[in-house]
Structure 1
Amino acid sequence: MTSERYGEEHSPNGGRIVWLADDGAAFEAGMRVGDAVRAVDGQPVRDILDWQWHSDDDEFIVTVERGPELHDLEVERVPGEPLGIEFEDAVFNGVMECANSCAFCFVAQLPPGLRPALSVRDDDYRLSFLYGNFVTLTNLEELDVDRILEQRLSPLYVSLHAVDSSVRAQLVCPTVEDTTLDRIDTLLNGGIDLHIQIVLVPGINDGDVLTETLSWLASPEGVLSVGIVPLGFTGHQSRFSRSFTPAEAADLIASIAPLQTSMRATRDSAWVYAADEFYLNAGQALPDDASYDDYPQYENGIGLVRSFIDEFAEASDGLSAADHAFVTLTGTLFAPVLKRVISDAGLAHIVRVVAVENRLFGGNVSVTGLLGGHDIIEAVRADGGVGIYLLPDVVVNSDGLLLDDVPADELSVRAGADLRVIGSDAASLVAALATAG
Structure 2
Amino acid sequence: MTNNDTISYSNHIMGPAVSLKRGWAYTPGFGTGRIVTSPKTGYGISEDWVAAYHEDYALGLYSPNYTHIALHSSFADTFYQVTLNPGESRVFEAYLIVLPEGDLCRIAETVQNIKGERLASIHGVATTSKGDLLVKGIVMVESNSKPYCWGLVKNGSYALSLPAPGTYSVFALAKAHAPSTRQNLTVAPGEEFELNFTDVIPPGRVVLTVFRNNTGEPTDARILVSGEYVPPVMYLAVTTVYTSVYDVGRAVFDLAPGTYNLTIDKGAGFISNAKTISVTVESEQVVDVNVTVEIMFKPSDEGWYMVDLHHHSDWMDDRTPPELLVAAQLASGLDMVFVSDHDYVGNCPVIQAITQARSVPFVCGVEISPDWAHFNVYPVVDPSKLVYRGTMREIITAARAAGAIMVRANHPWIGGLFIA
TM-score, normalised with respect to structure 1: 0.31
TM-score, normalised with respect to structure 2: 0.32
From the CA coordinates, give the structure whose radius of gyration is larger. Answer: 2
